[in-house]
Structure 1
Amino acid sequence: MSAREDVLRRVRAALGDRGAGTTAAGKVGTAPAAVEVPRRYRESGDHDPGSPAVLEQLVDRLVDYRAHVRQVTAGELPAAVADVLAQAGSVVVPPGLDEAWLAAAGDVIVHRDTRDEPLSALDLDAIGAVLTAARVACSETGTIVLDGEPDQGRRAISLVPDVHVCVVRAEQVVQTVPEMVRRLASHPERPQTWISGPSATSDIELDRVEGVHGPRTLHVLLAP
């Protein structure tokens, strides 16, 4: 029995349908009836979204990934944004970003990117940072997901600039991947960017190189 035949045999056995679908000879038979596929994995965590335990775990994972994390109050958020952007000098923002976040930005040059008037890759490469919101985050994996909402913008703006400043609200942080996927499922048509720390890769000798596939530096501001 070939590996392919073995895989198909196991699939048919798992679905409880041994006589329909693709046969060992590769022929297509009668379409199998719909069956209930068992979901034995954990569908939720032990802690509520946004709880202190979940936020603590997210911070631990992000720091382990070499991201810069700061927990701030709503009142402290504009100053925290300004502090990070002061080093970048310029920032690109999506059209739906909360303007109050930029209230203390001072002399930072603000570029605006929209789908109707998108900045080119060369334009984005010359900008010091990008500031976005987030859609959801998973504490167990330290993953933040953007899905193209107006406060997150096009995927390109979060991939080209060297610094990404991402504001994540406590209520957006869930513990497990299934919880995160369920939130994303409400808009399956949106493009998604999954972020687990700054962009990094390594060669065969495990020498780490950052900034190859996206921002070299990730700042996460956790806000209420």
Structure 2
Amino acid sequence: MIAARETLILKSLIYTLSYIHTVIMANRPRGFGLSADITRKMKKKYDVELEQQARVWIEGVIGEQLGEDSSVPLGETGFHQQLKDGVILCKLMNQLSPNSIRKVNTNKSAFYMMENIANFLKAIESYGVLKNDLFQTVDLYDNTNMLQVVNTLHALGRKARQKGYPGPCIGPKEAEKNERSFTDEQLMAGNNIISLQMGTNKGASQAGMNFGKSRSIVD
């Protein structure tokens, strides 16, 4: 009885938070000044070709089609609508790394959709995608930076290829670290090498030059 009551309270809280977020987003200012200028610049940089590459890759990995015609780019708004609830992203990650996201919410409330996106971001970071390559949850959910969303998907594709994923690939293989180790003797020997940046008295010289030298005249 108590458990059922707690579940009901939790659901009510989730729906309340979802409603509050919807109201806030509906009434938020559309941006002006520097904020609006940054948004416009990001939209100008948006690359439909990179979006299409990411879209076709996702379709190949999860075995589902995004949109009616895969040969026609979805565009920034269309791609956002396909990914907004986070379900496709979670499916993608579970194909690359099975069971990396154990709970995928199909509820269309804002809370659950943002939870899916957050779980995806957490999973791909654990998978090895660099933090600097990640988009923020609001970048996707609020459609404020789809450029970064596309960049993150490409970073994930490169990482999957590096890790040997046998399915469809996107972009070049990510470079691996080439760490080198040196013995103490090698390090000490290196200290005795004079860098050319420090100057040298070898090579070019003033031999043959006679600036300031008196000229001998022989009768």
TM-score of the superposed pair, with normalisation by structure 1:
0.26
Higher strand share: 1
TM-score of the superposed pair, with normalisation by structure 2:
0.26
Higher helix share: 2
